[in-house]
Structure 1
């Protein structure tokens, strides 16, 4: 599977509907990218695949309230 040169960003389903709390994610070759959608040219957090899986797994076991 090849990764596109430009990430395919999508908004988190947990982002607020008011437009003030928007988080976007994208898949990369070795994990996940995360950024603030209001600052698309701003910093990007890179999370390795194993760490991202552990994070998502913890949310599944302990859903946000």
Structure 2
């Protein structure tokens, strides 16, 4: 049986704007989607690629 994604909002989504993404990491691949427009689809990345991306993003922030 496939794992149902457990979506959570980015920690940077609490500002004045409502532009944010949701992530699910309890699935075989990390899934990312637009919070307001789910019809746009999902981007998937391996857990190792996602870890590299978030480490890079945190170091640039």
TM bucket normalised to smaller: 0.7 to 0.9
Secondary structure in 1 aligned to 2:41? coil
**1:14 Cα deviation (Å)?**
1.4
- 5+ residue gaps, structure 1, are none
Cα-Cα RMSD: 2.2
Matching of residues 1-65 of structure 1 within 5 Å: 4=3, 6-27=4-25, 28-29=27-28, 31-60=29-58, 62-64=59-61
Using structure 1 for the length normalisation, give the TM-score.
Answer: 0.71
Runs of 4+ in 1 over 6 A off after TM superposition: none
Choose between structure 1 and 2: higher strand proportion: 1
**1:15 Cα deviation (Å)?**
2.0
- 5+ residue gaps, structure 2, are none
Q: Kindly provide the CA deviation profile for residues 8-37 of structure 1, in whole angstroms up to 9, marking residues without a partner as x.
A: 1000001253343121000221x3110101
Matched positions, count: 60
